[in-house]
Amino acid sequence: MPFEGLSDKLAAAFKRMRSKGRLSESDVKEVMREVRLALLEADVQYKVAKDFTAAVAEKAIGQRVMDSLTPANMVIKIVNDELTALMGSEFSGIRLSPAPPIVILLCGLQGSGKTTYAAKLARYFKTRGHRPMLVACDIYRPAAITQLQVVGERAGVPVFERGTQPPEKTAVEALRFAKDYGHDIVILDTAGRLHIDGELMAELGRVKAAARPQEILLVVDAMTGQDAVNVAKSFDEQLSIDGILLTKLDGDTRGGAALSARAVTGKPIKFAGTGEKLEDLEEFHPGRMASRILGMGDVLSLIERAEQQVSEREAREMAAKLQKNQFDMDDLLSQLQQVRKMGPLKQVLGMLPGVGSQIKDMDIDERQFTRIEAVIQSMTAKERAKPDLINPSRKRRIAAGSGTQVEDVNRLLKQYEQMKKLFKQMGGMKKNGRMRGMRIPPGGFPGM
């Protein structure tokens, strides 16, 4: 999960603060010292961390906060607001011109993930009704053009390439082709280097002059921490970038790049890569990311992920079934398959408010999904519709057919009954017009 180490340290500091009830000025300063250390350990630039905690302390050490019935929560709200402001306050998307094609130039160091990111962006726009096209402008790295063609095919997006001719010439020809064939977004995948040098910047300058991109976006590896911020600053000084794209935000990253990049360059983070698949791309909403860092979940992003996998008609049909308590094994299989497409289960559940802390140390075996699918698919149509029919002899047949044990079949049936009870309770709460906090059922959800 993004910022897991930072989140844990902030949670521990806020827990100690809550235990004190009323807060003194020295209490706030002590908490801010812990927050500053947590930020520095997350590889946030020292000046950014110092200015951030100073701003929080100035607002927190006030009569309104100190006299509040819940001063600790007031301080946490201030931290949340300042984190959001630090990362840009609002989502800054790609500027779409009324006169297509829109040209997006991707730049960055070699190995930052530009080529895969180009395909992720192309897929993102395609799912929103656009007709993007990828352009191969990296003529130096071995197999760079082939790699772009492979990921372009996976994204269902055409790739324009002209071999090893000068990239600025390829860019001009690509724009002419895009206009002729109705492609409204052109994404240029440019070459990188192991370090910033004059030759790299000169070539990017020529491509920029030839293509006149509406957006110059820098791809940076979130795992490089402070180095990513230095790279962003250098590229901005020489190319005047319009935004930053983060990769590997799902990895073992300390988060310093995301928290420092905008403060240092003044340029917004526009998207974040959260996995290796082409669909693992998120719009970077500072407010939502701040909530994740503080363990408050991110329901809006979770809803957006779900909407990409489930149509409105399917959602209405499932809601009607749940209300009538008609949820069967076929529905469970369908739901599991949709959840798998949304990303790792731990990451998905971590977006629910209050659930992240419950699953933090929980061992979630993603391979269980495959076993559960095999068990359900080994059932007959009647058994999936009415699991009550499954007696001991049927359990042995299902286990043999799915390559699992009878214990696995029993566990799935038990979890299925727990889920039915949970959905029934949620339906009752909806009828009564009240909602309670959702708790993970005993034994967890399937896959835990």
314 is a domain residue: yes
Report CA Rg, the chain.
Answer: 25
Same domain, yes or no, for 70 and 124?
Answer: no
Please identify, among 263, 295, 327, the residue that sits at the C-terminal boundary of a domain: 295
- Is residue 427 within 8 A of residue 322, CB to CB? The reply is yes
* CATH code for the domain of 169: 3.40.50.300
Cis peptide before 101 (omega within 30 of 0): yes
95 is a domain residue: no
Phi, psi of 424 (to 5 degrees): -65, -40
Please identify, among 86, 121, 151, the residue that sits at the C-terminal boundary of a domain: 86
Q: What is the pLDDT of residue 3?
A: 66
Same domain, yes or no, for 115 and 183?
Answer: yes
Same domain, yes or no, for 313 and 337?
Answer: yes
> From edge to edge, which strands make up the β-sheet containing 243-247?
159-160, 132-137, 185-190, 102-107, 215-221, 243-247, 269-273, 281-283
* CATH code for the domain of 48: 1.20.120.140
91 is a domain residue: no
Structure-model confidence comparison of residues 440 and 367, the more confident one:
367
Same domain, yes or no, for 273 and 377?
Answer: no
Same domain, yes or no, for 378 and 291?
Answer: no
Same domain, yes or no, for 52 and 119?
Answer: no
* CATH code for the domain of 406: 1.10.260.30
Structure-model confidence comparison of residues 206 and 419, the more confident one:
206
> Which pLDDT tens digit goes with each residue over 165-194?
999 999 999 999 999 999 999 999 998 887
439 is a domain residue: no
Same domain, yes or no, for 340 and 284?
Answer: no
Structure-model confidence comparison of residues 42 and 178, the more confident one:
178
Same domain, yes or no, for 281 and 344?
Answer: no
Same domain, yes or no, for 311 and 189?
Answer: no
Print the domain residue range for 187.
102-295
Same domain, yes or no, for 107 and 66?
Answer: no
**CA angle at 273 for the pair 87 and 128, rounded to the nearest 5°:** 95
Q: Name the average pLDDT for the chain.
A: 80
Please identify, among 270, 295, 320, the residue that sits at the C-terminal boundary of a domain: 295
- Is residue 281 within 8 A of residue 274, CB to CB? The reply is yes
- Is residue 376 within 8 A of residue 333, CB to CB? The reply is yes
The token pair at 285 is 């909403």
| Number of domain units in the chain | 3
Structure-model confidence comparison of residues 226 and 284, the more confident one:
284
96 is a domain residue: no
Using pLDDT thresholds of 50, 70 and 90, give the confidence band for residue 354. low
Query: Per residue in 396-416, is it b (16+ CB within 10 Å) or e — as a string?
Result: ebbbeebebeeebbebbbebb
348 is a domain residue: yes
94 is a domain residue: no
Query: What would the mean pLDDT of 107-123 be, rounded to a whole number?
Result: 91
Same domain, yes or no, for 115 and 141?
Answer: yes
> Which pLDDT tens digit goes with each residue over 218-273?
998 877 767 777 888 888 888 899 999 988 776 555 567 667 878 888 889 999 88
Q: Does pLDDT of 67 surpass 50?
A: yes
Q: What is the pLDDT of residue 27?
A: 82
Same domain, yes or no, for 251 and 280?
Answer: yes
